[in-house]
A and B are shown apart, each in its own frame.
Chain A
Amino acid sequence: MTTLKKITQKQLFLPLFSMVLVMLINMIYDVAHGNPFYNFFTISINSQGILYGRLIDILNRGSEAAILAIGMTLVVSASAGTDISVGSVMSLAGGVCCVLLAGFGNVNVNSYAVPLWVGVLAGILTAGLCGAFNGFLVAFLKIQPMVATLILFSAGRAIGLLLCNSAIVYVNVESFKMFGGYTWIFPTPLLITAGCVLVTALALKFTALGTYVQAVGINKDAARISGYKSAAIIFLCYVVCGLFAGIAGITATSRIYSADTNNIGLNLEMDAILAVALGGNSLGGGKFRLSGSIIGAYTIQAITTTLYALGVSSAQAPVFKAVIVIAIVTIQSPVVKAYMKKRKAAKQLESGKEVHAS
């Protein structure tokens, strides 16, 4: 009883619980269809020599959302606001990268106009610049995060489209497909995500980044008096968020080796925000757990993949997704948590009274 209580009170309990729930649905579905229950977890190496399986697919497809969730977690924690421009910035980063690689004005090339690394770096730095723009508005001009990032939310994608001359720019070179393809037996996006998570986790572990961000997020004024440059830290978080959006953008572009500006990263900012919330992090800022957000991101992808596996059409899927999200978010809400706690206390009180009476 007490160990169970200890486990359920951990911050990561609910995100993990949600994920396990999604997996269970998968297992039940498999069994109902006469497959072995472990079907969902089966990982095999297919004829092309790469890892294959539903779990791998989730990890692969969820990469962009997971990368975005890292930056979003920092932004939410430090500024108690969200960066809704990340999806749009992804698209812009992909556009800049492809236009440079293809050469301005070309729409379909088989060789690079500039070295690959120049294109990729330019894409990521453009996204970083977008982050700096957002950060400047929020941290120094004190504009509400939602409003500040709304500018690039609508403009970012449009600038990308303008750069691409409103066309889809194809870069048909094998080395460019690498970021969205496979490295040895692993999907490269999975490795990129792992790299991003690792770098951030190490920064949190071996520098005081976590203390800085959380102190500013919880009480800006107190942090300032204690020697923290609150504005600079908020600015930094937006820049980092932008850089991660850039990395996610390059990954998404590489998957389809083209800058499909209209569709890359579409609505993905919402997944990233949801991932942070699903991870048990307060959107009101302050304390955060990176691992929660990452689990949250993959949970969202798991829900999507499961729905497709269950035969729900892509047009209907968002409806079911919404229902599941409502359920998860409701059990995590402070009101429900407080209610459960209160009910438990009342029960204990009642049972205590009975013991007393007897």
Chain B
Amino acid sequence: MTFPGVKALDHVDFTLRKGEIHALMGENGAGKSTLIKCLTGVNNFEAGEIHIDGISEAVRNRNTLDAQKHGISTVYQEVNLCPNLSVAENLFIGREPMTKLHTVNRKEMVKRAQKLMNEMNLPVDVTRNLDEYSLALQQMIAIARAVDMECKVLILDEPTSSLDDSEVEKLFNLMRQLRDRGVGIIFVTHFLEQVYAVCDRITVLRNGQLVGEYPIAELPRVKLIAAMMGKDFDDLASIKPEGGLHGGTESLIDAQGLSHAGKIKPFDLTLARGEVIGLTGLLGSGRSELARAIYGADKAQTGTLRVKGKEVHIKHPIDAMNLGMGMLPDDRKAEGIIGDLSVRENIILAMQARRGMTKLIPMKEQEEIADHFIELLQIKTASRETPVKQLSGGNQQKVIIARWLATDPDFLILDEPTRGIDVGTKTEIQKLVIKLAQEGKGIVFISSEIEEMLRTCNRLAVLRDGAKVGELSGEMTQELVMKTIAEG
């Protein structure tokens, strides 16, 4: 299987045993998704064979239905069931039990669905609509559906990205239960902790090639990271400069009482040059909303905002950009990339907006800028004219970062810049944040991983239930942050 200009998967062997949980690891663009797509028939592959149950005859899945017939089922990060149908209907969609009159036998369907849920210890009323349940439960229902279809191989592609800790634990229990029943599970994730919590063996890919297959006990964390990155692992703790970061005296942002009804209650926030301030709190606590109110993505309804000492009124992101701001939104797909446009066009996008419609950036300058950032951020792309949607997630993220660096902002909001990105790129981005701060820019950094925030930020603002409840600086520990989130 090849992607434009890049060989996505090159002679990779992969073996899954009966009754094991097998982690598939690798950085973005290593070929994990491609391997899975080949197994499930989403993509065609050019060479190689698939054998199931040790039968010598090779299996070729032309589509996902074929794969399901051969006992291979996949559950993706985004649950692809119908939210407005009942749980029972979702479980039996396409294979409903029938009455003699060839109508759906609802009674039987509900009975069997409820039995299935009980067997798997899921507290679900199967007659309720699917969207009444949490994402975690929906995911487990999707797994239950796959299991009930007598799957031998269950592929879980990043199932835990949007789950909280207790939900993850429930999912793991279910996975262990299935393993004991003899199902082989392929588990794709970016979270190292989870691999060690639940997996039996690990296969590592890098740049479309097989690095190795290891029993979990023989591959300690550091070695796993080294295998994924192909180099020795940087000590993550040491990316801050000696003596830490120090904010300059010049104030960049001084927000007083900004708010947006229903999203973020009035808050004060200041940011000086050379500072990295982190916004922390649970998902939905108003982290993103606070940043968006400053940037004008959701226009602030009350309060005053001073930028570099001058009072300003931001009505639209372009106003913020003209004051030297930039924002990397948390939802890369919805608000970040312009998928059909090329890498070059995506990189110059914000710069062009600042210059205005009539002042087109000359093509030569565009190409130079694109090449500069592809080189600087090591964006893996076939060429600068490749549509950005063909890049892997981490590289798309780098393109958006490049888009903002090209405008040479004084002040940058990075909302979850490392979500869904592999460890190597994560470190690169964290280092970049520190470097930008040292150059005198002010950074607002938002992340769900407290550890990452502690590594990069010199000050933390803590949010809870749509309000800013405190600020931390100096010696910060994970415990302290958690305590502040919980108690304020």
Partner of B297, one of A207, A223, A225, A229: A225
Asked, given contacts A222-B336, A226-B349, whether A215 binds B341 with beta carbons under 8 Å apart, the answer is yes
Considering the complex, give the chain B residue whose CB is closest to the CB of A223. B338
Asked, given contacts A221-B334, A222-B335, whether A211 binds B317 with beta carbons under 8 Å apart, the answer is no
A229–B348 CA distance with the chains assembled, in angstroms: 16
Task: Please give, as numbers and ranges, the residues of chain B lying within 8 Å of A225 by CB-CB distance.
Answer: 297, 317, 327, 329, 335-336
Task: Please give, as numbers and ranges, the residues of chain B lying within 8 Å of A349 by CB-CB distance.
Answer: 44, 46
B322-366 vs A, CB cutoff 8 Å, 1 = contact: the mask equals 000001010000111111110001001110111111111100000
Task: Please give, as numbers and ranges, the residues of chain B lying within 8 Å of A229 by CB-CB distance.
Answer: 316, 318
A226 and B357 within 8 A (CB): no
A-B contact pairs, 17 of them (CB 8 A): A208-B360, A208-B361, A211-B341, A211-B348, A211-B349, A215-B341, A218-B339, A219-B335, A219-B337, A222-B338, A224-B316, A224-B317, A225-B327, A227-B317, A227-B353, A287-B341, A345-B44
Task: Please give, as numbers and ranges, the residues of chain B lying within 8 Å of A224 by CB-CB distance.
Answer: 297, 316-317, 335
A226-252 vs B, CB cutoff 8 Å, 1 = contact: the mask equals 111100000000000000000000000
B82-94 vs A, CB cutoff 8 Å, 1 = contact: the mask equals 0000000000000
Beyond the given A224-B316, A352-B46, could you list 19 further A-B residue pairs with CB under 8 A, ordered by the A residue number?
A: A208-B356, A215-B341, A219-B335, A219-B338, A221-B335, A222-B337, A222-B338, A223-B349, A224-B335, A225-B317, A226-B317, A226-B349, A226-B403, A227-B321, A228-B353, A229-B318, A287-B340, A287-B341, A349-B44
B354 and A214 within 8 A (CB): no
Interface footprint category on B: 20 to 34
B360 and A215 within 8 A (CB): no
B334 and A226 within 8 A (CB): no
Interface residue ranges of B346-400 to A (CB < 8 Å): 348-350, 352-361
Please give the distance in Å from B356's CB to the nearest CB on chain A: 8
Asked, given contacts A222-B338, A286-B340, whether A207 binds B350 with beta carbons under 8 Å apart, the answer is no
A314–B345 CA distance with the chains assembled, in angstroms: 47
Chain A: residues with CB nearer than 8 A to chain B?
206-209, 211-212, 214-215, 218-219, 221-229, 286-287, 342, 345, 349, 352
Please give the distance in Å from A296's CB to the nearest CB on chain B: 20
Task: Please give, as numbers and ranges, the residues of chain A lying within 8 Å of B345 by CB-CB distance.
Answer: 211, 215
* A/B pair count, beta carbons within 8 Å: 81
Considering the complex, give the chain B residue whose CB is closest to the CB of A215. B338
Task: Please give, as numbers and ranges, the residues of chain A lying within 8 Å of B359 by CB-CB distance.
Answer: 207-208
State the main secondary structure of chain A at its contact with B. helix
A221–B329 CA distance with the chains assembled, in angstroms: 10
Please give the distance in Å from B108's CB to the nearest CB on chain A: 37
A227 and B338 within 8 A (CB): no
A211–B351 CA distance with the chains assembled, in angstroms: 12
Of the candidates A212, A215, A226, A342, the one having the most CB atoms from chain B within 10 angstroms of its own CB is A226
A206–B363 CA distance with the chains assembled, in angstroms: 10
A287–B329 CA distance with the chains assembled, in angstroms: 23
A207 and B341 within 8 A (CB): no
Task: Please give, as numbers and ranges, the residues of chain A lying within 8 Å of B44 by CB-CB distance.
Answer: 342, 345, 349
Partner of B338, one of A207, A218, A342, A352: A218
Task: Please give, as numbers and ranges, the residues of chain B lying within 8 Å of A211 by CB-CB distance.
Answer: 341, 345, 348-349, 352, 360
Task: Please give, as numbers and ranges, the residues of chain A lying within 8 Å of B356 by CB-CB distance.
Answer: 208
A215–B348 CA distance with the chains assembled, in angstroms: 12
Of the candidates A214, A219, A286, the one having the most CB atoms from chain B within 10 angstroms of its own CB is A219
Task: Please give, as numbers and ranges, the residues of chain B lying within 8 Å of A227 by CB-CB distance.
Answer: 316-318, 321, 350, 353-354
Please give the distance in Å from B202's CB to the nearest CB on chain A: 32
Asked, given contacts A212-B357, A226-B353, whether A218 binds B321 with beta carbons under 8 Å apart, the answer is no
A208 and B352 within 8 A (CB): yes
A227–B350 CA distance with the chains assembled, in angstroms: 6
B270-313 vs A, CB cutoff 8 Å, 1 = contact: the mask equals 00000000000000000000000000010000000000000000
Of the candidates B335, B339, B357, the one having the most CB atoms from chain A within 10 angstroms of its own CB is B357
A160–B358 CA distance with the chains assembled, in angstroms: 36
A208 and B357 within 8 A (CB): yes
A207 and B317 within 8 A (CB): no
Please give the distance in Å from A349's CB to the nearest CB on chain B: 7
B34-47 vs A, CB cutoff 8 Å, 1 = contact: the mask equals 00000000001010
A226–B348 CA distance with the chains assembled, in angstroms: 10
A206 and B340 within 8 A (CB): no
Please give the distance in Å from B374's CB to the nearest CB on chain A: 19
Considering the complex, give the chain B residue whose CB is closest to the CB of A346. B44
A222–B399 CA distance with the chains assembled, in angstroms: 13
